[in-house]
A and B are shown apart, each in its own frame.
Chain A
Amino acid sequence: MMYMRGFIDRYQGSGKAGDLSWLLQRVSGVALLFLLLGHFFIEHFAGVPVDYQHVAARLADPLWKAFDLTFVVFALFHGINGIFMNIEDYLHSGWRVFWKGFFWVAGVLYLVLAFITILPFKG
């Protein structure tokens, strides 16, 4: 669309059309429905006491590591992608570049933090 080629549109990243982020938002949403409810059930309703000993024992299991990493990846993506949608809705100046960059950096840092916390954990 020629008339739409504004200055700011150049800064929208490689997934320009927005179809992939729209689709992944739905995929991660459905995944979170199970991951979040599962997490909630295990932490609060399964009858296992929530203290360091029990949580640490569970987190030492590679399968639970996989569960928690999947959870954190989908939750981060879903949350930050949602913020991106808001930014694209309401910001049309250079601030869009700043805030998208800010959440990219924050998201990547958080992901690294999650991985270095969960992966090497031995109990």
Chain B
Amino acid sequence: MALNVGDKVIFKVFRYDPDKDKAPYYKDYEVTITRKGMMVLDGLNQIKWEQDPSLSYRRSCREGVCGSDGLNINGMNTVSCMSHIEDYNSDVLVIKPLPGFPIVKDLVCDFDDFFNKYYAVKPYLIEKTPPPARERLQSVEDRAKLDGLYECILCGCCSSACPSYWADPDYLGPSALINAARFVFDTRDEGSDERLDLVNNIHAVWRCHTILNCIHACPKELNPTKAIGMLQKEILKRKF
């Protein structure tokens, strides 16, 4: 569906203010297409700046790098700054906060638990040998092994799409695990033993049932399920 300048699209936005509202509700806003290729985030900005300043949502860089604006748009988790309004082929866009996360207000979710799980896998370079005089070098081939792992922007779309993550409150989730894999398979890192020990847990890699929602949800087109599989294989290889 091609949208032209002047066309209108209805945004059905999830609203909830715990201080005022007894229950969440949806509010319809009319967004006017002001230029070709408008993103969903542009529509939300239009609502906030021109129609209803009480609407809350997170955004920052508006170019798919900061990972602030993970939302559920017409049933799919994605970041609103990377989603063209016209790609949804619909006059109505239902916009909800990420499922499975506690809601703070409107489209703003509580990410505390998500980030605690991210910090739990030690997502930083662990070094045991003293650094060389210049930087730690890595061959082009070894660096290429990290493609598809390092690009994660921590938007929460994958974990929020995962039924195992909804069901088990202790499950680390695809996002934390792909970030664990990013360091385990980094040749410069020397902490993979302790990191694998952490994720070799009933609430970590073995909780993944390859439902594959995380791959579908990831706006950066990464494959967390494959990363979890790599971790499982690495754990079994070192143990048996």
CB atoms of A92 and B168 under 8 A apart:
yes
- Chain A residues near B209 (CB-CB < 8 A): 85, 89
- Of A16, A19, A88, A92, which one neighbours B236 at CB under 8 angstroms? A19
In the complex, how many residues of chain A place their beta carbon closer than 8 angstroms to a beta carbon of chain B? 17
Q: Decide: A19 and B200 in contact? CB cutoff 8 A.
A: yes
A26 to B171, CA, bound (A): 21
0 or 1 for each of A1-36: is its CB under 8 Å from B? (1 = yes): 101101000001000111101110000000000000
Using CB atoms, name the residue of chain A closest to B208: A22
Interface pair A17/B202, CB less than 8 Å apart: yes
A18 lies within 8 A of B167 (CB): no
Point out which of B164, B202, B206, B240 has the most chain A C-beta atoms below 10 A from its C-beta: B202
The verdict on A90 contacting chain B, using a C-beta distance below 8 Å, is: yes
Q: Point out the residues of chain B lying under 8 angstroms from A1, CB to CB.
A: 120, 198, 201, 203
Partner of A3, one of B116, B167, B235: B116
- Contacts of B116 on A, CB cut-off 8 Å? 3
Q: Is B32 an interface residue (CB 8 A)?
A: no
Chain B residues near A22 (CB-CB < 8 A): 206, 232
DSSP majority for the A interface?
helix
Is the Cβ of B200 less than 8 Å from the Cβ of A4?
Answer: no
B206 touches A19 (CB 8 A): yes
Contact assessment for B168 and A18 in the assembled complex, using a CB-CB cutoff below 8 Å: no
List A contacts of B170 (CB < 8 A).
4, 6
Do the beta carbons of B164 and A19 come within 8 Å of each other? no
Bound together, the chains give a CA A99 to CA B195 distance in angstroms of 32
Give B163-210 interface residues, CB cut-off 8 Å to A.
164, 167-170, 198, 200-203, 206-207, 209
Q: Are B232 and A89 in contact (CB under 8 A)?
A: no
A12 to B170, CA, bound (A): 14
Is the CB–CB distance between A19 and B169 below 8 Å? no
In the complex, the answer to whether B168 meets A19 with C-beta atoms within 8 Å is no
Q: How far is the CB of A47 from chain B (nearest CB, A)?
A: 39
> Within the assembled complex, what's the spacing in Å between the Cα atoms of A92 and B116?
20
List chain A residues, Cβ under 8 A from B136. none
* Contact between A89 and B202, CB atoms less than 8 A apart: no
Q: Is the CB of B203 within 8 A of A19?
A: no
- CB atoms of B167 and A17 under 8 A apart: no
Within the complex, which residue of A6, A18, A92 is in contact with B206, where a contact is CB–CB below 8 Å?
A18
| Known contacts A1-B120, A3-B116; A88/B169 CB under 8 A | no
In the complex, the answer to whether B201 meets A90 with C-beta atoms within 8 Å is no
* Interface pairs (30), CB distance under 8 Å: A1-B198, A1-B201, A3-B116, A3-B120, A4-B170, A4-B203, A6-B170, A12-B202, A16-B201, A16-B202, A17-B200, A17-B201, A17-B202, A18-B200, A18-B201, A18-B207, A19-B200, A19-B235, A19-B236, A21-B206, A22-B232, A23-B236, A23-B240, A85-B209, A88-B207, A89-B164, A89-B167, A89-B168, A89-B207, A92-B169
Sample of 13 more A-B contacts, CB < 8 Å, known A4-B203, A18-B207:
A1-B201, A3-B120, A4-B170, A6-B170, A12-B202, A16-B201, A22-B206, A88-B202, A89-B164, A89-B167, A89-B209, A92-B168, A92-B169
